[in-house]
Structure 1
Amino acid sequence: MKNVGILVVILLVLGGIAYFVVNSSDSTVDSDLTKDFFAVDSASITKIEMNSVANGDVILSKESGTWMLTKPVNYKADTSRVYSLLKEAKSIKVINPEVSSNPTKHAKFNVDDSLGTSVKLYSANGLAAEYVIGKRTNGGIFIRQPNSDVTILTSTFNSFAFAQKAEQFRDKVICKLESESITGYEVTSPIGKITVEKADSLWFVSGERKKEKRTEANGNFINTWNTRFGNFYTSKFKDETSGADFSKPEILIKVTTTSGEKSVAAVLDLEDKNFFQVKYSDSEQIFLVSKGVIDSFAKPYEDLKKIEEKK
Structure 2
Amino acid sequence: MLRSSQPLTGPNRKRCREDEMLLGTVLEEGERGFIIDTRSAQAAKQARMTGGGTEPKSSYPQWRRLHRPLERGRPLQESFIKLVEACNDTSINMDRWLSRLESCRWLSHAALSTACLAAQCMDSGPQGAKDPSPAGHPQLPFTPVIPPRGVPQAGHPFHLRCAHSAYSHARLKQEAPLFLLFLDCVWQLSRQFPFSLEFSEHLLLTLFDNAYASAYGTFLCNNEKERCLCKVKESTHSLWAWLNQPGEKKKYLNPLYSHNTLVIWPSVEPQSIQLWQGLFFRWIRSSQHLDEAWAEIQRLVEGN
Q: Give the TM-score normalised by the residue count of structure 2.
A: 0.21
Tell me which protein shows more helix as a share of its residues: 2
TM-score, scaled to structure 1: 0.21
